[in-house]
A = this chain, B = another copy of it.
């Protein structure tokens, strides 16, 4: 488990002298380190551990017999093209389908503006590659998606966090951060945001705030990178218009089939203004020649031949039920904590009492057969020490309840220890968006 936060400003880990290649690496490798989530995968995948850590979607219900037959037909009738090199921008038919998928959230996009990527992770990589020089500032929510923080750090950007609350990014905090950056002569290249069903915070940016955030970015001439992997997985809410649909010239939009279909295909996409799209295609060609042709054609066939919208509805019900189970268990077992109440997506963000350290507590939690991601993973500046992300996407409702029960035992033991011996860490200021008590289900 790394002890340093992910950000550049926090100091580079030293290359060990045992590494004969240490003197050869590029400067950017100092910003590449194993994330806390990745290091957890080995532990959390043991069957006796209830993993509230991973963000793996629940693809058990996909209907594998029918899917297998659909793919068999694809290979037999179109194998010579489906298994060949293809366009760096991505399959034209798939790009049309992507626009139809986006329309379900009220978004308008043209197939020409779409670039297919190896999951939306690669889209974050390519956008950063196109826009960010070392030392450029990227604004991110506090907390922010760990995979994006890793990309920004790998491109030697400085991540500056902007506070959020239960209605998402706080416009006043965005304004004051931009003013501060400008006064310091820093160049802000991107605002990276997950406005809907946030990972890890589980909150959604309100409609009013979307307008305000766009207005502020327009005035400050800052480009927005809108990452929307969970938008179709809302529970009882209508989707809010994406930032991209408000102002397409100001936003690079990212989507993915990882959560609505299957992540192992690694098919995501970016939608960008034409000039930016051209750069992204060049970056994609340089990175991979072309994104996987076969994966793209599998997705296109699936969308054409199977009732994927019903499948997404089924996913919604499944995740809704699990969210409810998790929230009920938190209410029952962890009254000392506070947490967010997601209207969709995979995650609940939990804030423990100030004096508890979720990172230090993790090995004891794993010893009690429950895993989570400590809050520090989602900050580049050392924030989030008494916070954690709990995922409800993969375990069954019963396992979720059992996981929270185990977690509560660990938290309780920790509190007793501290009551006996005193806190070992300094008291911390409260985070930006702790809710005293959640609405349950």
A: which residues have CB within 8 A of B? 18-22, 24-29, 32-35, 38, 41, 56, 59-60, 62, 64-65, 67-69, 71-76, 79-88, 118-119, 121-122, 125, 129-133, 136, 147, 150-151, 154, 189, 223, 249, 258, 262-266, 273, 275-276, 279, 282-283, 285-295, 298
Assess the A263–B84 pair: CB atoms within 8 A: yes
Assess the A75–B68 pair: CB atoms within 8 A: yes
Chain B residues lying within 8 Å of A33, measured Cβ to Cβ, are: 282
Complex Cα–Cα for A147 and B289 (A): 8
Assess the B32–A59 pair: CB atoms within 8 A: no
Assess the A121–B289 pair: CB atoms within 8 A: yes
Distance between A95 CB and nearest chain B CB, rounded to angstroms: 16
**Contacts known (A64-B80, A82-B264, A264-B84); A26 close to B131, Cβ less than 8 A:** yes
Assess the B279–A25 pair: CB atoms within 8 A: yes
**Contacts known (A26-B131, A289-B119, A295-B295); A64 close to B75, Cβ less than 8 A:** yes
Which of A28, A147, A287, A298 has most chain B Cβ within 10 Å? A287
**Contacts known (A119-B288, A125-B286, A295-B295); A83 close to B263, Cβ less than 8 A:** yes
Assess the A84–B71 pair: CB atoms within 8 A: no
Distance between A148 CB and nearest chain B CB, rounded to angstroms: 10
Assess the A288–B266 pair: CB atoms within 8 A: yes
Complex Cα–Cα for A62 and B79 (A): 9
Chain B residues lying within 8 Å of A258, measured Cβ to Cβ, are: 85
Assess the A25–B71 pair: CB atoms within 8 A: no
Complex Cα–Cα for A26 and B133 (A): 5
